[in-house]
Structure 1
């Protein structure tokens, strides 16, 4: 039976505060990076994220990441390069917790007491109490606090059975003293109306738990679902700058920051800076070697460009916004040329001379069509070829077999007796 909205539920859309934003740029950006990333650049990106106001940074979940986490903690507590109130979260799942907990031993106990470990896939091997065993072991290592992550394959609605499963897992983590729970839209199929119902019910039934949504953008609804979750009661939100995340990504944090400003939504203990988050988004593309999305909302390189020759509805409506105007052959109207010259201070005898204005427009059009376009088309086709070539050398699963055969061959060579 589908879950319904609780009786008397009142959403909130403006002028409220949430407890925090969890940044997934580093963890899921690193997981998605086809060719990895260099630790020095990753640290610069973390600094850029914190300059933009983010204070909850999720790292992990690879075997090399504890060493990078140690570097970050040194930068924070010894060098002062990262604000002291920044919370580092190390993310591990119950399928990989044993080697990762071993790798975490590189971090001194006084540092482990400062971080938080996110335990994912809490339902894995539930009958063996694996969650409880992993929690106890990590506590014995000195980990200071925990949050939990519940996986889900949502569809267009939440049914009673699925909701009961989530609450069952919430009860398990509550018994361990964990009060921060991430609900995962693991395959990106959740819809905002279902998110609203889920959030309202979970908050009503678990007032002692702080919830946030891990909302993938596979259907283009990552940001919409994230906003729906806090509109209907979730106390935190999550995403990545430039929408970084696995597959199609997660909620875009610089867009979210802009919406928060417009809606009067604040984040406890910090202040978001949309411009700095936008710069961090561009840096993330460099760090993880992702081609810039030039028309990405808020932070795209060209997103503020408007065709000066076309009647732009925002201009017509008198909406004030930062705009960089350009011309192309479609927009090169004589009236546009005349207006541009008038704005530049040309005398009326020229701006009112139709023959003169037409000659200027024709010259511009000729340059764009016969000089600029052919050159840019040739350059674009070369860039496109290079892009396809760049993204061909991806390490696929067949490489595991090839590496295994290489190792076996080397071992065989080592065992050949000397003559």
Structure 2
């Protein structure tokens, strides 16, 4: 039985833009977030307070958050450490997200730390969150497979979750960072977590690297999971993982859910408009499909198509 309602978190201006080599002006990022808000999104992961040297595209994190923190949706930001958490609190975020890799290899390339060191680094962030009253969530990257090590044992993901829960975190995002998940992986990893930690609130974050993104959402829905992350126009990809490509596309996800009779509260046509604007801004074709074809209810006059001759 599918959930009747799903919450979608838009990550287009964070995960979507982080690998873009040409800097997207701050005012355009703010416009995109306002567009997401107008389309009905209630939670937006707007940016990341990582080192500007590591991810130059997100060097304007404080300015972006300051401009959008009062427009309505929950504004979340990724934070890598206590320094980033302090910057995020000062900027006015509603939520902070810490991230841990499920494999040692990815942790080394993405965070330059071991998994144990990364979890230890969460402790001061958790204290900052408690003192400031900001909600703290966690994300586990490469939870469904590591591009360097292959499949990650479900016991490993569950053990990381146990340590994060001990720090007071009750909301966990599982990231398919390089698109290695299949429905079988989703059922195995999520099933293990829901069995070991029945009170944890799970969010799923899929990439469409191998064309499995929406199929994996269906697997999550069958498990009753009702929170997903996606990026407008299918933008995105981890800059520290070989072969990583875009997130599942927000418009495509909203369309699939609507066809299943699942409520999202998102205006599909408004979301398509924002996706097309992002495509124009970046100056190249983006992976989203619905932004080209439109929903199946969008009909065309017969006069608009060529007729067969002969």
What is the TM-score normalised by the length of structure 1? 0.60
CA distance in 2, matches of 1:41, 1:48: 10
Alpha-carbon separation, structure 1, partners of 2:186 and 2:284: 31
Could you tell me how far apart the structure 2 residues matched to 1:235 and 1:205 are? 19
Determine which structure has greater relative contact order: mean sequence separation of CA pairs < 8 Å that are 6+ residues apart, divided by chain length.
Answer: 2
3-state SS, counterpart of residue 121 of structure 1? strand
CA contact (8 A) 2:157 2:189 kept: no
Q: Does 2:206 match 1:215?
A: yes
Residue 294 of structure 2 corresponds to residue 297 of structure 1:
no
Secondary structure class of the residue paired with 1:257? helix
- Determine the C-alpha separation between the residues in 2 that align with 1:250 and 1:60: 15
User: What is the aligned length?
Assistant: 279
Provide the residue aligned with 1:351 in structure 2: none
Shift of 1:138: 4.6
- Relative to the length of structure 2, the TM-score reads 0.79
Counterpart CA distance in 2 for 1:297 and 1:262 is 15
Aligned to 2:196: 205
Identify the match of residue 64 of structure 2 among 63, 68, 74. 68
Which residue is 2:309 aligned to? Answer: 333
Structure 2, gaps ≥5 residues long: 49-57, 103-112, 238-243
How far is 1:298 from its partner?
A: 1.8
Give RMSD over aligned pairs. 2.8
Taking the aligned partners of 2:161 and 2:155, their CA distance within structure 1 comes to: 10
Which of the numbers 124, 132, 140 marks the counterpart of 1:150? Answer: 140
Structure-1 residue corresponding to 2:88? 104
Counterpart in the other structure of 2:99: 120
Tell me, yes or no, if structure 1 residue 256 matches structure 2 residue 249.
no
40, 63, 76: which is aligned to 2:27?
A: 40
Going by fraction, where is helix more abundant, 1 or 2? 1
Residues 296 and 181 of structure 1: CA distance in aligned 2, closer, same or farther (over 3 Å): closer
2:13 maps to: 26
For residue 239 of structure 1, the aligned residue among 224, 230, 242 is 230
Cα distance in 2, alignment partners of residues 320 and 39 from structure 1 = 36
> What is the CA-CA distance between 1:211 and the residue it aligns to?
0.6
* Matched ranges for 1:403-418 at <5 A: none
> Residue 92 of structure 1 corresponds to which residue in structure 2?
79
Return 203-212 or 178-187, whichever deviates more. 203-212
1:283 aligns with 2:277: yes
Give secondary structure in 2 for the equivalent of 1:184.
Answer: strand
Q: Kindly indicate whether the alpha-carbon contact (under 8 Å) linking 1:304 and 1:322 is maintained by their aligned counterparts in 2.
A: no
Compare 273-282 and 258-267 and name the one that shifted more: 258-267
Matches for 1:257-406 after TM superposition, within 5 Å:
257-267=254-264, 271-287=265-281, 289-293=282-286, 296-300=288-292, 303=293, 321-323=298-300, 326-328=304-306, 331-333=307-309
Q: CA deviation at 1:240?
A: 1.0
Task: Determine the C-alpha separation between the residues in 2 that align with 1:261 and 1:41.
Answer: 29
